[in-house]
Structure 1
Amino acid sequence: MDGRSRFLYKTRMSRRTAFLENLHHVPADGWTRSAFSIPRAGKVAAAADYRIARIAHGGQDVLYCVSGSGFVETDGVRHEVHPGQLVWIANELPHAHSANPAQPWTLLWFRFDGPDPAWLRAQIFGDRSTRLVITEGPLLIDWFERLFTAMRQREFGLDLRLNLLAGEFFSLVGKTMTGQSDGAMPARLAHTIAGVRSDLSKAWTAQEISQLSGFGAAHMRRLFRKHLRTSPRQWLTRERVVRAQSLMLRNDASLGQIAAACGFCDVYHFSREFKRITGVPPGTWRRGELWNADAP
């Protein structure tokens, strides 16, 4: 091989995609029906021609750009991704990602699966972009290091460990989405929530909740979506159901009395909303919980 041939050979080899970490796990049968797992994870130093495109795939892929840049197509949107940015890919839809040929990226990535991961994505992001800047970059890199270590060692209880790590990741993303490193919500929103909780028997209207907060109704809805991933009305109904559960176990009040104490119009309204949220009527839930409480 002459000098020119050796140079060409080295140049071609240096441009190949390098899989610096490429880890796999097969969860126990039935595991992902009730808990999360991480079947794949890795680190990729991409070449200029790196591209992956799929019509659909199981689970959800998450990419974190360490250096360079690239492009992600997910949920009908094309994102340009730079260092410090993360993208959560909707694997149930057509999707693709590729390196920027001028500056190919290095990625940390993983795929998680579990009970309805697409629903989880919608709960975390709502109608906002699934590309975000990770404000706690060192924490995320440390998380990936712990993930890689766990998947390399493959110790007993790995399924439980991966479920725990998935939960840590969801929490980190949730905090990033709030714009607060400690996950705190604005003081006026916290004041509003505390005020409504202190008087759940009141027939709160959207206007009254807005007046309590000092925000307009539209801004109030945006704050609830951003920090609580729900609307004020949905949040209030769930708070009333939670309060009703507590009252049903603390005293012998009738369902009608509990409905009134929790702000429901009547016992029928209470029963309908309780069953919609918990899956069982309040009387059935109460008997089951009291029976369990008395069991040895």
Structure 2
Amino acid sequence: MTALHEPAHRDEQGGQLHRVRSTTRGDIEMYGVDYRPDEHLPVDVYIVGRSAWGAGESYDRHPVVESDIELTLEGKGVLEVGKESHELLPGDVFIVRPNERLRYSTAPGASVWSKVFIDFYGGNTTVILKQLGLLDVSVVRVSAASLPGIRQLFDDMLVIARTKPLQYRDRLSEKAYALLLALSHETLGPAHRAVMPDVIQRVVTYVEAHLDLMPSVQRLSHIAGCSARHLNRHFSRHFGMSIHAWVTRTKIRHACLLLARTHSKIGEIAESLGYVDQLHFTKVFKRVMNTTPRDYRRNAHSDGPGVPEGAPSTEN
């Protein structure tokens, strides 16, 4: 189980928290940062660690306010969230969101499951998870090309948490945000699509070519050539979310690009993405992004998103 629930040894001078537990392969090692939340940090990391679980080990996590991100290094694990079950292989990252009840364990038949992890407070992080499209994602399958960089971010955070250099909390926050951004890109980029099963590839290609439509799950299952139940199972296993959640997030991602890079009216953007009216679009956008389309556009333009020159200013 994670070291959060193991006997602790604190170095009062350095403020480090070090917990160790024996497994069939070694120890759990972790470093505490600070148990006082800092609301000024975008991502407030408070524990970084690594662990090696033996055969048959598991942990039932009860809802808490903290979030957790873990990267599988070796072996195989299983993550159970509600009625969904995800197999975790080397290179897989799983995200534990605030107030979520789940169970994770070494996979049946596996002798070891080793991983690195970070824990951070909710608050600002929940907003960022929404903005990056990760709040509904349980598992990210990291591509081979991106894995070294993501692994390096975890390693960097381990060193920072252990040595606590000057302004270490700010440096941890920067590394953690870079990690979340990299994971967001993995769920959207071509590298992630390259390993998609054919049944998912057909649906993804259709949806992105017909963003002006609102296809039903039945329609998409027909395109995929399988039942709606099996299609949802495929999407849950590959993306960590249902087909409906994936379609919504894909539309909102395109909406963000249009809001940042064009001066098209918000109502026109809503219509181009298949929403019946601007009110419904705004409601969905705010639920996913935690801000309105108008405010998102204003903030994006103030940061210079590269709106095409000469585009008419017709925002409503």
Superposed displacement of residue 149, structure 1: 1.0
Instruction: Output the CA distance in 2 between the equivalents of 1:243 and 1:116.
Output: 19
Higher helix share: 1
Alignment of 1:177-256 (within 5 A): 177-180=187-190, 193=258, 197-200=262-265, 204=268, 206-207=270-271, 209=272, 235=293, 237-238=294-295, 241=298
Superposed displacement of residue 245, structure 1: 7.9
Contact 2:73–2:90 under 8 Å retained in 1: yes
Matched, 1:21 2:29: yes
- Letter matched to residue 44 of structure 1: S
In the other structure, the counterpart of 2:161 is 151
Alignment of 1:82-161 (within 5 A): 82-103=89-110, 104-125=112-133, 128-135=136-143, 136-161=146-171
Contact 1:74–1:89 under 8 Å retained in 2: no
Report the structure number with the largest CA radius of gyration: 1
Instruction: Output the CA distance in 1 between the equivalents of 2:173 and 2:158.
Output: 14
Q: Say if 1:127 and 1:117 are closer, same or farther in 2 by CA, change over 3 A.
A: closer
Provide the aligned length of Structure 1 versus Structure 2: 218
Q: Say if 1:47 and 1:32 are closer, same or farther in 2 by CA, change over 3 A.
A: farther
Contact 1:62–1:88 under 8 Å retained in 2: yes
Instruction: Output the CA distance in 1 between the equivalents of 2:315 and 2:78.
Output: 50
Superposed displacement of residue 101, structure 1: 4.2
Superposed displacement of residue 69, structure 1: 0.6
Give 5+ residue unaligned stretches, structure 1: 1-13, 211-215, 247-260, 265-296
CA deviation string 1:45-79 (max 9, x = no partner): 11113211122233111121111111112355322
Instruction: Output the CA distance in 1 between the equivalents of 2:106 and 2:297.
Output: 49
In the other structure, the counterpart of 1:256 is none
Give 5+ residue unaligned stretches, structure 2: 1-21, 193-207, 212-253, 304-312
CA deviation string 1:258-287 (max 9, x = no partner): xxx6533xxxxxxxxxxxxxxxxxxxxxxx
Superposed displacement of residue 98, structure 1: 0.8
In the other structure, the counterpart of 2:62 is 55
Instruction: Output the CA distance in 2 between the equivalents of 1:58 and 1:17.
Output: 30
In the other structure, the counterpart of 1:263 is 315
Contact 1:74–1:90 under 8 Å retained in 2: no
> Percent same amino acid at aligned positions?
15
Contact 2:66–2:122 under 8 Å retained in 1: yes
Instruction: Output the CA distance in 1 between the equivalents of 2:65 and 2:41.
Output: 16
Instruction: Output the CA distance in 2 between the equivalents of 1:126 and 1:25.
Output: 24
TM-score by length of structure 2 reads 0.56
Q: Say if 1:98 and 1:155 are closer, same or farther in 2 by CA, change over 3 A.
A: same
Q: Say if 1:124 and 1:130 are closer, same or farther in 2 by CA, change over 3 A.
A: farther
Superposed displacement of residue 18, structure 1: 2.3
- Letter matched to residue 315 of structure 2: G
Instruction: Output the CA distance in 2 between the equivalents of 1:62 and 1:262.
Output: 41
Superposed displacement of residue 130, structure 1: 1.6
CA deviation string 1:238-259 (max 9, x = no partner): 466459989xxxxxxxxxxxxx
TM-score by length of structure 1 reads 0.59
Contact 2:76–2:90 under 8 Å retained in 1: yes
Secondary structure class of the residue paired with 1:19: coil
Matched, 1:42 2:49: yes
Q: Say if 1:230 and 1:139 are closer, same or farther in 2 by CA, change over 3 A.
A: same
Instruction: Output the CA distance in 2 between the equivalents of 1:244 and 1:76.
Output: 41
Instruction: Output the CA distance in 2 between the equivalents of 1:52 and 1:178.
Output: 30
Superposed displacement of residue 20, structure 1: 5.2
Match of 2:84 among 52, 77, 81: 77
Contact 2:260–2:300 under 8 Å retained in 1: no
CA deviation string 1:138-185 (max 9, x = no partner): 111111111111111112211111111111111111111112469xxx
Matched, 1:174 2:181: no
Instruction: Output the CA distance in 2 between the equivalents of 1:142 and 1:205.
Output: 39
Secondary structure class of the residue paired with 1:42: strand
Superposed displacement of residue 203, structure 1: 6.1
